[in-house]
Amino acid sequence: MQMSKVLRCVVLLSLTCTSAFDFANAQSSSRMKPAYASENPITEPRLFGEGVISTPDDELNATFSADGNTIYFSKNVPGRLGVLVESHFVNGQWTKPIVLPFSGQYNDYDPCLSADGKKMYFCSNRPLPGKERRNYDLYVVERTANGWGEPQNLGPVVNADGDEFYPSVSNDGTLIFSANRPGGKGNFDIYMSTWAGGKYSEPVNLGDSINVATGEIDNYLAPDKSYIIFAGYNRPDSYGNGDLYISQWKDSTWTKARNLGPKINSNQREYCPIVTPDGKYFFWTSFRSFADKPLEKPITYDELLKELRGTLNGNGNIYQIDISELGIQ
């Protein structure tokens, strides 16, 4: 009788420990998932981080840390100031963004992290030493033991006399960006520069499959350089004034750019594409708003004010969708 009680206690203790172990493992597994991960497929555009990341303000660009729990993006005062900010996913929610220590004084946009997270590339119109700089150049800033260091201009090989925007870097250091330099096909084209011997090669225009007479800007290069996603403006097959397109590297050439379609592209502007570090989700910026669809009845003044002060007031917001929805082959 006494031995039976002992055995029951041992069994119960074992079950309790196993349940606790399983729960701890489940909790650990949950914590290991990137903050942008979804339990269910995201097959339609989903507003990201509403109220903290996507707000009534103008937000654009986005890049994530390798674990997916830190986001860097831009807050924009149109035509006046662009600021790089960061937010962390803590206790199930995004923290209030803070301005990066090297930003907040000049127009800074388009953050892009290197694969190891030790470097951030971005564009800025900050002045060069001894010069009054009015156009945009590409910069890189390295993470040190004490945080981010001082931004360094990428130099005259990459930065010409015009504007350079939206850097994106592959795993091997290859850089693509948008620029309005002489000899281009449109007002802005996409260029590529390789990294070798501690320096960048002379940038090369990516050609007719991608660049046309109107303009291409805001671009993402896949880590393995297998495809490029970019914003094309005022093309004949556009749904809005700026649409997102994709070109894939096949048979040693770039395929003719394909419009990503009406699920991604609205009748407004879409730009600032990225793919998450795990390759599972696509993020972009859109100006779609409450007013893009016909209203069922006339809007009242109070309703109008609510919408104008709401997230979908027509300023830029950041959206997310499964990468499978892009039809990459």
Reported as a single tens digit per residue, the pLDDT across 68-108 is 999 999 999 988 999 999 999 999 999 999 999 999 999 99
* Cβ neighbours of 224 (radius 10 Å): 11
Domain assignment present for residue 171? The answer is yes
Mean pLDDT of the region 113-134? 89
- Identify the domain containing residue 260 by its residue range: 57-326
Mean pLDDT (the chain) is 91
Instruction: Provide the domain count of the chain.
Output: 2
Domain assignment present for residue 216? The answer is yes
Domain assignment present for residue 144? The answer is yes
194/236 same-domain check: yes
Domain assignment present for residue 44? The answer is no
206/138 same-domain check: yes
186/317 same-domain check: yes
Q: Give the pLDDT of residue 20.
A: 40
Q: Give the pLDDT of residue 17.
A: 43
164/211 same-domain check: yes
User: Tell me, what amino acid is at 274?
Assistant: I
26/122 same-domain check: no
Residues 171 and 183 sit within 8 Å (Cβ to Cβ)? no
Of 236, 242, 245, 155, nearest in space to 200 by CA = 155
Q: pLDDT per residue over 250-273, tens digit each?
A: 999 999 999 999 999 999 999 999
Percent of residues, the chain, with pLDDT higher than 90: 83
- With tokens 């925007």, the residue in question is 165
pLDDT of 146 > 60? The answer is yes
Mean pLDDT of the region 29-47? 88
Of 177, 166, 143, 126, nearest in space to 70 by CA = 143
61/5 same-domain check: no
Helix (H) or strand (E) holding 22: helix 2-32
Mean pLDDT of the region 109-136? 90
pLDDT band at 31 (very low <50, low <70, confident <90, very high): low
Domain assignment present for residue 208? The answer is yes
Mean pLDDT of the region 205-222? 96
26/67 same-domain check: no
206/311 same-domain check: yes
Domain assignment present for residue 36? The answer is no
pLDDT band at 128 (very low <50, low <70, confident <90, very high): confident
1/132 same-domain check: no
Question: How far is the C-alpha of 143 from the C-alpha of 100, rounded, in Å?
Answer: 12
pLDDT band at 6 (very low <50, low <70, confident <90, very high): very low
* Cβ contacts of 250-258, under 8 Å, gap ≥ 24: 253/209, 254/206, 254/207, 254/209, 254/210, 254/228, 255/209, 256/209, 257/209, 257/210, 257/230, 257/232
pLDDT of 25 > 50? The answer is no
163/217 same-domain check: yes
- The CATH number covering residue 97 comes to 2.120.10.30
Mean pLDDT of the region 10-14? 42
The answer to whether the predicted template modeling score (pTM) of the entire model surpasses 0.95 is no
Q: Give the pLDDT of residue 129.
A: 79
277/229 same-domain check: yes
pLDDT of 24 > 80? The answer is no
203/240 same-domain check: yes
Domain assignment present for residue 270? The answer is yes
Domain assignment present for residue 48? The answer is no
Mean pLDDT of the region 280-291? 97
pLDDT band at 329 (very low <50, low <70, confident <90, very high): confident
pLDDT of 18 > 70? The answer is no
